[in-house]
């Protein structure tokens, strides 16, 4: 998995480039939290659920149907965010689904159950270039954890920063007479 903090970078980037006039900071923060939610499945280890189970790590909480369910629930709060139901649904769906997408780009684990409950098959993308993060803070505070941080800075944070910067520069240049 990518680290939980790096998962939040995707909806943050989307929210910034899509414009705060259309997407409030409250909604962007909700999207960031939704991008982290799928990793709550690690709690299942404490109950003896195996990693490879559909209820284990990278199982149903990483699926597209889970992302849609979260988006449906939060779309009900569209008035709170002063954003249309469709925009809330789309933003939250993409934010939550981005979690599985990042995990499918990592160099370890068993893959992601994108199509649960239709299929329990796990998938990786053809290219895996994000170093897989160890599970647990104690395991993360090691040399391997530092390698993961460096990998994510180069493969997630830096590209997102470049996208934000280039988008803002483009908007600035376009608005000048």
**Per-residue confidence at 20, pLDDT binned at 50, 70, 90?**
low
C-beta atoms surrounding 52 within 10 Å: 14
pLDDT digits (tens, 9 = 90+) for 110-152: 999 999 999 999 999 999 998 887 766 666 677 777 888 888 9
According to the model, what pLDDT value does residue 132 have? 82
Q: Name the pTM for this structure.
A: 0.89
Taking alpha carbons only, the member of 36, 29, 32 closest to residue 81 is 29
Q: Which domain holds residue 54?
A: 4-175
114: left (phi over 0), alpha (psi -120 to 50) or beta: alpha
Q: What percentage of residues in the chain have a pLDDT greater than 70?
A: 93
According to the model, what pLDDT value does residue 160 have? 94
Say if residue 100's pLDDT is above 90: yes
Instruction: Specify the DSSP element, H or E, that contains 37.
Output: none
DSSP label of 134:
P
According to the model, what pLDDT value does residue 50 have? 85
* Mean pLDDT for the chain overall: 89
DSSP label of 135:
S
Say if residue 1's pLDDT is above 60: no
* C-alpha angle 93-85-77 in degrees, rounded to nearest 5: 85
According to the model, what pLDDT value does residue 73 have? 98
According to the model, what pLDDT value does residue 81 have? 87
Q: What's the total number of domains in the chain? A: 1
């Amino acid at each position: 998995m990518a680290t939980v903090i790096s998962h939040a970078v995707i909806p943050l980037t989307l929210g910034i480039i899509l414009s705060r006039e259309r997407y409030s900071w409250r909604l962007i923060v909700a999207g960031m939290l939704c991008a982290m939610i799928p990793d709550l499945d690690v709690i299942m280890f404490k109950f003896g659920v195996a990693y490879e189970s559909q209820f284990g790590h990278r199982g149903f909480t990483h699926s597209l149907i889970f992302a849609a369910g979260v988006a449906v629930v939060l779309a009900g709060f569209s008035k709170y965010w002063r954003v249309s139901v469709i925009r809330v649904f789309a933003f939250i769906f993409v934010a939550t689904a981005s979690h599985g997408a990042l995990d499918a780009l990592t160099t370890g684990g068993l893959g992601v159950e994108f199509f649960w409950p239709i299929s329990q098959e796990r998938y990786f993308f053809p290219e895996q270039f994000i170093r897989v993060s160890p599970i647990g803070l104690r395991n993360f505070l090691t040399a391997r954890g530092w390698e993961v941080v460096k990998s994510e800075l180069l493969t997630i944070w830096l590209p997102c920063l470049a996208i934000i910067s280039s988008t803002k520069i483009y908007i600035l240049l376009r608005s000048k007479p």
